[in-house]
């Protein structure tokens, strides 16, 4: 509406906050969000058409606490109550999570909301979903499986929005690499056809036909289509000029992983599959390393925050989840020369 607004804590904010933190209350009103209605309807049916409910999702992400409202009040210029609409907006029981914006350090909440108002992505359905998943991933009471699933869903929504859901592997290569790969595949196809003829000569006709089909496919669909979660995420990061995948790949080159996976994208795809297909990370049998999973999750959380800040137009400072030390880090603190250990990798 183009008019100033503000958020003000209630006089007994500290007592209300303590009740929530100590578990005596599951929900409590702690502050008021105030702004002008202008010419918008104050009827309940019209409220969803203009009320900035997405601010509540963004505030939840910024504070690490679910921010909602049990009702909306409309008052006149003298402060007199005109109408109260009882609606449950983004309400959930109190829980704590990572807080990217701490007012005593970053003073960025108002700036974030202000910049977000003019973002072309404001109120987009995909962004509401991403913020919802990111908030749940940030909660301290999540299992590592649930946390990874929420992070993955947020990233997959972003990949879908920006067109990185699937990859054409061959066309993503530079021409010189395409030529090299085609030469290798043509050689492989010739060798397979030779084996197909050998199988046919000894009477194994079905095996010969199958081998010949494999040879044909090797040449006809080189590289092929791929729906790789890891590759999609790396393409998303490149779109937002975030160098994280290059940083971690260089780290893995100099510090090979025990599972032999050479790339960050490969690790992401591996971890994406476990909680989806089997429902859990099998840590007790040493099939997965808990510390490595936490490192990846914390890094992805930080990546998502930086992407959200770019989408919202926020250029202030924040608390990266990859460090426990209080820090007013600029949103562009991850640069190509950054050591991977600064992102939590050992």
pLDDT for the residue 35? 87
Q: Domain ranges in the chain?
A: 6-94, 175-226, 227-343
Q: What are residue 8's DSSP bridge partners?
A: 32
Q: Is the pTM value of this prediction over 0.85?
A: no
pLDDT tens digit at each of 346 positions of the chain = 567 788 888 999 899 989 888 889 888 888 988 888 888 888 877 777 788 888 899 999 999 998 988 888 888 888 888 888 888 877 778 889 999 999 889 989 999 999 998 899 988 999 999 999 999 999 999 999 999 999 999 999 999 999 987 666 666 778 888 788 888 888 888 898 889 889 878 888 778 778 877 877 777 666 555 668 998 999 999 999 999 999 999 999 999 999 899 999 999 998 998 877 677 888 888 888 999 999 999 999 999 999 999 999 999 999 999 999 999 999 999 999 999 999 999 9
- What burial class does residue 299 get, using C-beta atoms within 10 Å of its C-beta: 0-12 exposed, 13-18 middle, 19+ buried? buried
Q: How many CB atoms lie within 10 A of CB 23?
A: 8
Q: What are residue 220's DSSP bridge partners?
A: none
- Can you list the positions of beta strands (E) in 50-178? 69-75, 81-89, 167-168
Q: What are residue 83's DSSP bridge partners?
A: 74
Q: How far is CA 38 from each of CA 31, 41, 343, rounded to the nearest angstrom?
A: 22, 9, 46
């Amino acid at each position: 509406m183009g008019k100033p607004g503000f958020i003000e804590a209630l006089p007994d904010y500290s007592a209300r906050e303590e009740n929530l933190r100590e578990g005596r209350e599951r929900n409590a009103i702690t502050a008021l969000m105030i702004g002008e209605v202008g010419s918008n309807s104050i009827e309940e049916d019209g409220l969803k058409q203009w009320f900035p409910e997405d601010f509540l999702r963004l505030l939840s992400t910024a504070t690490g606490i679910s921010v909602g409202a049990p009702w909306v009040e409309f008052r006149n210029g003298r402060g007199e109550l005109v109408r109260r609409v009882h609606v449950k907006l983004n309400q959930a029981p109190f829980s704590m999570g990572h807080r990217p914006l701490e007012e005593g350090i970053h003073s960025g909440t108002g700036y974030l909301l202000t910049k977000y108002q003019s973002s072309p992505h404001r109120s987009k359905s995909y962004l509401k979903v991403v913020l919802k998943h990111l908030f749940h991933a940030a909660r301290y009471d999540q299992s590592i499986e649930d946390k990874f699933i929420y992070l993955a869903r947020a990233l997959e929504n972003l990949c879908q929005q920006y067109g990185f859901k699937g990859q054409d592997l061959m066309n993503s290569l530079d021409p010189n690499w395409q030529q090299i790969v085609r030469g290798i595949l043509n050689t492989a196809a010739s060798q397979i056809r030779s084996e197909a003829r050998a199988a046919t000569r000894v009477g194994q006709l079905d095996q010969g036909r199958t081998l010949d089909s494999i040879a044909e496919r090797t040449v006809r669909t080189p590289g092929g289509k791929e729906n790789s979660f890891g590759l999609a995420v790396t393409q998303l990061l490149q779109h937002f000029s975030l160098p994280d995948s290059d940083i971690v790949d260089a780290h893995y080159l100099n510090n090979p992983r025990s599972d032999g996976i050479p790339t960050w994208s490969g690790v992401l795809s591996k971890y994406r599959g476990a909680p989806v297909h089997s429902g859990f990370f099998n840590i007790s049998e040493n099939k997965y390393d808990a510390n490595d999973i936490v490192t990846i999750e914390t890094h992805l959380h930080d990546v998502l925050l930086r992407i959200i800040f770019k989408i919202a137009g926020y250029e202030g400072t924040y608390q990266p989840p990859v460090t426990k030390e209080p820090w007013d880090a600029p949103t562009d603190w991850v640069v190509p020369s950054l050591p991977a250990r600064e992102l939590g990798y050992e």
